[in-house]
Chain A
Amino acid sequence: MSVTREAMLEHWEHPSLWQRLTARDLIWALAVLVGSVGVWWVYRDLMDGYEIAIQIGSTLGLIVWGWYWRPAQVFVLVVALLTVTALWRYGADYELRHSDFLLKYILESQAAFMWMSALYVLATATYFVALFGRSEFVGQTATALTWSATAMGLTGLFVRWRESYYLLGADVGYIPVSNLYEVFILFAVITALLYLFYEDRHRTRAMGGFALLIISAAVAFLLWYTFEREAHHIQPLIPALQSYWMKIHVPANFIAYGGFALAAMLSVAYLLRLGAEKRRPEGLLARTLPPLDLLDDVMYRAIALGFVAFTIATILGALWAAEAWGGYWSWDPKETWALIVWLNYAAWLHLRMTKGWRGAPMAWWAIVGLFVTLFAFLGVNMFLSGLHSYGSL
């Protein structure tokens, strides 16, 4: 085999994806594979064919995600380590959560969620301090806090998944994305991951405070929901939710909600900066808030990603409905509002891409879009009656 100068040059100038993979990437893939096989080995008796297919898909997705975004590798490993530690501490005795130090104060799902809540709120404040104090170190601290909070949140979800089996028995445990309490945690975790991705890719922490505001709002709701309504108890699933579809439909939806929420929060920053530039161009806000074109760009990317995820989630929902409700579309209030949300963002994207709309109107629209989404997510369950009334307050 002869290697020409031309081929070497090409390789050097523009290596293909495979050529760009480093040893670290390959070790990563191997680690995920080994971990996945291990999980399958331990839990294979509880999984049906669809769930094995979902696991294979998740494994491949995880590998590619780590390749695409290196920090995800560390994150996944940390979460895996924490989760495995929790399971190891638990052993077969759920009651250890009251006595084992690690479990009681850190890794038991409730403890993990409390850590997550505290860290997110702290991170929000820290991001704003970094923004207005223009401190690189404080900014790094904020990022570290966000990463930690996200790791605790995701670990908590995994541990809760296992706890549901202790509590409810081997045949009724379920992935914790089935009620409002659990999906709010999922929302916080996914929104934070989306934000961290854009922070990393755009090499700026200026957007952090705004992105984490909505997460802090979710945390506030979560705390109210825990302490006032005691919603954190693990309850068995009603028959309609006992399906492998839940494992993919719900997370896909929350990627979308995360994207839309992020876009709306960046729109708030956009409008603030726009207003500040108009009124006091030399003022503190106009100088410190993130630049408009950055906000505009990330806003677009978040909505585009959200739109893709929302399309997939809605389609998955339709496929599930075809199996549970007798048809892929029944004009159920949840379905109808999902359609409205979809049309809303489709219109947003059309006007941006075909008419070149930019600026304040699009920012306002993204904020309104979040309210429409919020109604589809919460309002439908609270105010309207329909088949999809699983997450009522």
Chain B
Amino acid sequence: MTTLFYWRWPRWPWLFRPDGGTDYSRPGLTKVRNDSQKPAVNDSSAPAANATPVPKPVRQRRSQWLLLEFLGSMYLAITLLVVVAIASVIGTVLQQNQPYADYVLKLGPFWFEVFRGLGLYDIYGAAWFIGILAFLILSTSVCLYRQTPHLLREMNRFRTQVQLHSLRGFHQRAEWRLPERDPGAAQAEVTGVLRAWRYRWRVEDRDDHRIVAATKGRFSRLGYLFTHAAVVVIGIGGLLDGNLWLKLKEWRGEIVVETRDLMARDIPPISRLAPGAVPAFRGNVMLPEGSAANFVFLRMRDGFLLQELPFAIELLNFQVEYHTTGQPKSFLSQVRIHDQKHLGDQPLEAEIRVNHPLTYRGYTLYQSDFGDGGSNLELRVWPLTLPQAEPVAIQGAVGETLSISGPSGPLRLELDDFRLYNLLPELDSRPGDRKFRSFGPSFSFKLRDVAGEAREYFNYMAPVQMENRWFYISGMRDRPSAAFRYLHIPMDSNYSLERFLRFNARLRDTVGLRELLARSAPLADNADLQRDLDQVRLNLVELFVRGGFTAVIERSRAVVPAERLQDATTLYLNLLRDTLAEVFIEVLREEGVDLNEGVGEREEAFFNDAVSALTVLPEHGSPFFLQLTGFQQVEASGLQVTRSAVTRIVYAGFALLVIGIFIMFYTSHRRLWAWLAVEEGGTRLVVAGASNRRTAEFAGEFAAIQGALARRLGAPEAIGPAAATASPTVPPEAAADNRSGDRAPEFER
């Protein structure tokens, strides 16, 4: 049994060296014995580092030792650690647990499959990753199992069997000849000093000498034990608190991940977990105000499981408080826990805030998210492609899908979200300015055509001031990953969209336009020419409303020879602009704006902004402008509910780790020996010492002890070279030193 603990850790590669390790049949003294191989006694210039281990016959190994050797190999452990580190890095670079569709978009179909096969979308839950972690824990346990008995013995042992030449090989040593003292008197001085330095010692009479073997700080050996045990405890605890249980159930076929988008009540039993089915989980639920749930969803890969709770959570109220600067100050959910069995008819009321979770019967409820819980929106639908500007009022709640008829078939209007506050960086701010402005409420929606193609829109309720003008703003994107592109519709003097929309409608009213052009002052003398010109103007307007200025320029490019292109395009654009202006003036006149003094500055600015908006309107792509005219906000609070199996044990592991590391770095196990022998009517005294760590500090301590001893002994002349003393600048904690004397057995890997 004992031999088990003295196998050495093999060198790279981590399988065995053919000659095996050194057999330390007397483990504690091995190093000292090695030192003694040197011929010179007083040779301090060549410390123990030069000593080579004596090869011993290879012991017959048994297969279980082979296994232990393999499992406990430090190099294997380091190799696996590197794998874990690389995998972890991948896990931080590749965002984890995203919808699979996003990965397909990002990676393409081929790499998507490869990555999925490797489990890279949930790397920390992948079987191979957990397997490696488990193996590392096993490896550390084996290491611990092999070393612990050894270090416990080291802790309690006084090494009295030390030889004189071993002591003389130590880095820290002193030797005196004491002519007028017997060993007993000398021993009294030695033990006096040892007591002053709080060493424990044992005295033994050997054949021809007396040995005082002392130790101090033996509990330093526990540092190894504590740290490595802590790693095992934390590792096992972490695995047990992870999704190991779910994996196990899935592997045994007891549960199936649900990937469809279902209501909670429609989820089949095979994807449901009863309360207590797994000891640890982390799930989420989004609760609208006034609703309750007795379940949470556990996200797994591209789907989820439903975890039932033994109680129901009712969200009474969710509120966000803001700082005066507009940043959120607190998120607060007021909840009521209903638990007939434990609370009876009196539900538990509590508040959950960020950093202040609620723990109830081993379940912990966290404030983790918030969103819209189905706010009611009142909308006005303004047609953008029709010759009239009459709005239709509709109502809907966030989360609903409405049907709405468009110019090219029915459209599905999906109301996605509502936000009460939009705090955005000031428009002219540079990054880091930290100037924010509130843009007021907004809502977002998708318009999906029969083919399933959708565009996403983001409209603000209130107009926004930019460069001293006011605009209604609508953002659009056709891919979820794209940035929004914005349409700025100028606000009229009634704070409304109407002037712009009437302008837009008039441009699409071909009959009205023709009449208007007929009424307006003729540009040509000839009636035929005038008719052709009017037709050109009508065509230009039509091109413009269908494709903006781009369409006009393109048409011009298509029909005009290259040498006249520049002039013709300028002419077309001027003609278009004049026509637009005429229509605009007509719109103003209808509105009753007094135009006797000409068009005012504000109207002119409006016209320019309106034309800018019109030219991006085709790209904006929506046949309507949806204006938010009223709302009734319903908020939802995202709660995270967790259950943890072994948190306390893991925390104990944390404590063990901290204590262990402190012991490792800031304590050391020190040994001192005093060898006393009768010699020519006096006593020969050899004192030597060694420390497993902090050798620089020990050198200082030894020097102090040596000095105190010398004073007590009447400062006799020391024999041989003085022990290495600690100089303040150069701590002799060098490689050679570390190998000399009493090296830490726990590091004997």
Contact = CB atoms under 8 A, between A and B. Distances in A.
Nearest to A235: B434
Nearest to B321: A239
B279 interface: no
Interface string B294-320: 000000000000000000000000000
Given A9-B712, A235-B327, A238-B327, A328 B647 contact: yes
Contacts of B84: 343
B455 interface: no
Contacts of B654: 315, 318-319
Interface string A217-238: 0000000000011110101101
Interface string A174-191: 000000000000000000
A384 B662 contact: no
B195 A10 contact: yes
Most buried by B among A240, A300, A336, A386: A336
Contacts of A358: 734-735
A319 B434 CA distance: 31
A240 B78 CA distance: 36
B85 A340 contact: yes
Given A315-B657, A358-B735, A230 B354 contact: no
B260 to A, nearest CB: 26
A168 B324 CA distance: 9
Interface string A286-316: 0000010110110010001101100110010
B739 to A, nearest CB: 6
Contact of A297 (B89, B356, B696): B696
A76 B330 CA distance: 35
A347 B192 contact: no
B192 A307 contact: no
A279 interface: no
B155 interface: no
A149 B327 CA distance: 34
A328 B93 CA distance: 21
A356 B748 CA distance: 11
B238 interface: yes
Contact of B354 (A6, A242, A318): A242
B328 A229 contact: no
B95, B195, B355, B433 — most chain A CB neighbours (10 Å): B355
Interface string A338-381: 01100110010010011010100000000000000000000010
B96 A331 contact: yes
A370 to B, nearest CB: 17
A325 B267 CA distance: 27
A239 B431 CA distance: 23
Contacts of B81: 343, 347
A336 B364 CA distance: 23
B432 A242 contact: no
A233 B354 CA distance: 24
B18 interface: no
B371 to A, nearest CB: 16
B546 interface: no
Given A13-B193, A202-B728, A229-B431, A356 B330 contact: no
Interface string B311-341: 0000000000001010111110000000000
B88 A9 contact: no
A236 to B, nearest CB: 4
B92 interface: yes
Nearest to A324: B355
A303 B427 CA distance: 46
B665 interface: yes
Contacts of A233: 434
B375 interface: no
A329 B238 contact: yes
B197 A322 contact: no
B355 A242 contact: yes
B300 to A, nearest CB: 15
Contacts of A201: 728
B704 interface: yes
A327 interface: yes
A356 B739 contact: yes
B354 A239 contact: yes
Interface in A119-140: none
A326 B640 CA distance: 7
B749 A231 contact: no
Contacts of A331: 88, 91, 96, 124
The DSSP consensus for interface residues of chain A is helix
Nearest to B653: A315
A58 interface: no
Contact of A293 (B198, B331, B731): B731
A86 B738 CA distance: 51
B730 to A, nearest CB: 5
A236 B354 contact: no
Nearest to B193: A13
A172 B328 CA distance: 12
B282 interface: yes
Nearest to B366: A326
A291 B728 CA distance: 13
A238 B328 contact: yes
Interface in B350-396: 353-357, 364, 366, 368
A202 B193 CA distance: 27
B196 interface: yes
B67 interface: no
Contacts of B238: 329
Contacts of A13: 193, 196-197, 704, 708
Interface string B689-730: 000010010000000100010001000000000000000111
B92 A354 contact: no
A6 B188 CA distance: 10
Nearest to B283: A326
A339 B133 CA distance: 13
Given A236-B329, A353-B747, A327 B642 contact: yes
Contacts of A204: 729
Given A293-B731, A347-B78, A6 B433 contact: no
B34 to A, nearest CB: 15
B107 to A, nearest CB: 17
Contacts of B366: 324-326
A356 B735 contact: yes
B248 to A, nearest CB: 19
Given A228-B432, A308-B665, A293 B730 contact: yes
Contacts of A393: 432
Nearest to A346: B81
A203 interface: yes
B331 A239 contact: yes
A337 interface: yes
A14 interface: yes
A202 B697 CA distance: 12
B192 to A, nearest CB: 6
A311 B231 CA distance: 12
A100 interface: no
13 contacts: A6-B192, A10-B195, A202-B729, A240-B355, A308-B665, A326-B364, A328-B241, A336-B89, A336-B91, A340-B85, A343-B85, A347-B78, A353-B738
Interface of B: 74, 78, 81, 84-85, 88-89, 91-93, 95-96, 124, 192-193, 195-198, 238, 241, 282, 323, 325, 327-331, 353-357, 364, 366, 368, 431-434, 640, 642, 644, 647, 650-651, 654, 657-658, 661-662, 665, 693, 696, 704, 708, 712, 728-735, 738-739, 744, 747-749
Given A204-B729, A243-B355, 18 more contacts: A10-B196, A13-B196, A13-B704, A172-B329, A202-B728, A238-B328, A239-B330, A239-B331, A297-B731, A308-B661, A311-B657, A327-B241, A327-B644, A339-B88, A343-B81, A356-B735, A384-B92, A386-B92
Interface of A: 6, 9-11, 13-14, 168, 172, 201-204, 228-231, 233, 235-236, 238-240, 242-243, 291, 293-294, 296-297, 300, 304-305, 307-308, 311-312, 315, 318-319, 322-329, 331, 333, 336-337, 339-340, 343-344, 347, 350, 353-354, 356, 358, 380, 384-386, 393
